[in-house]
């Protein structure tokens, strides 16, 4: 399994949508939120690694493209963690705004290429989007989301990047815990505290500290 390494004194930028944001915008410029990013920051902080949260609720891959220079490259990161994709699916079903798997891949590839060009020192970690259906109609979302998950997995392999698997682990947690999907994601998308713990554990499993 490919892994990234963070040495003391390095900086990790975690970027994505509301799952990464998790309330950090309400806390001001240096907010970490209450989700997996804050948990990751706690672990990293014990090793002298700074974590910067740049999640923004509602964002899709095209939104990350628009703010990549300011929110990632300008921070001179030693590691960039990308968690994006569920809104590229969700907007199809609540607003009729479709992002094809091809467009998603083009945008995602642009982020990777710009990072390698603008921050060649940075490791890149890809975090899968995931879905934990809590309503019957959310099972339909799989037809749109699954190809996007495959895009992230394929890009991780092509670019030789660490991949944080999330979709399978969430499904396994639902199946083996006996607690039901809402114990892990309130609405199928946004994790509960237990869900954020699962994400943080998965993330730290592919990033070596020290």
Question: Would you please indicate which residues are annotated as catalytic (active-site) residues?
Answer: 18, 187, 190
Q: Which among 151, 165, 144 has a CA at the least distance from the CA of 111?
A: 151
Contacts of 94 (CB under 8 A, 6+ apart): none
DSSP-assigned letters across all residues of 181-207:
GGGTBTTSSSB-HHHHHHHHHHHHTTE
* 3-state SS class at 116: helix
Q: Which among 56, 146, 138 has a CA at the least distance from the CA of 93?
A: 138
Contacts of 59 (CB under 8 A, 6+ apart): 16, 17, 18, 84, 87
How far from chain centre, in Å, is Cα 70? 18
How far is the CA of 149 from the CAs of 14, 112, 143, 155, 165, in angstroms? 18, 16, 11, 10, 10
């Amino acid at each position: 399994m490919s892994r990234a390494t963070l040495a003391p004194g390095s900086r990790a930028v975690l970027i994505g949508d509301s799952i990464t944001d998790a309330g950090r915008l309400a806390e001001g410029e240096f907010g970490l939120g209450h989700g997996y990013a804050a948990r990751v920051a706690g672990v990293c902080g014990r090793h002298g690694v700074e974590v910067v949260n740049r999640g923004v609720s509602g964002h899709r891959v095209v939104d990350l493209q628009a703010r990549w220079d300011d929110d990632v490259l300008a921070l001179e990161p030693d590691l960039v963690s990308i968690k994006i994709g569920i809104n590229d699916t969700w907007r199809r079903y609540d607003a009729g705004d479709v992002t094809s798997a091809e467009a998603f891949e083009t945008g995602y590839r642009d982020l990777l290429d710009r990072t390698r060009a603008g921050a060649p020192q940075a490791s890149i970690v890809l975090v899968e989007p995931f879905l934990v259906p809590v309503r019957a109609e959310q099972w339909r979302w799989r037809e749109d989301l699954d190809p996007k998950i495959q895009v992230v997995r394929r890009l991780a392999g092509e670019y030789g990047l660490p991949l944080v698997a999330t979709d399978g682990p969430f499904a396994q947690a639902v199946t083996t815990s006996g607690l039901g999907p809402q114990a892990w994601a309130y609405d199928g998308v946004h994790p509960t505290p237990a869900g954020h713990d699962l994400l943080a554990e998965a993330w730290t499993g592919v990033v070596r500290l020290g």
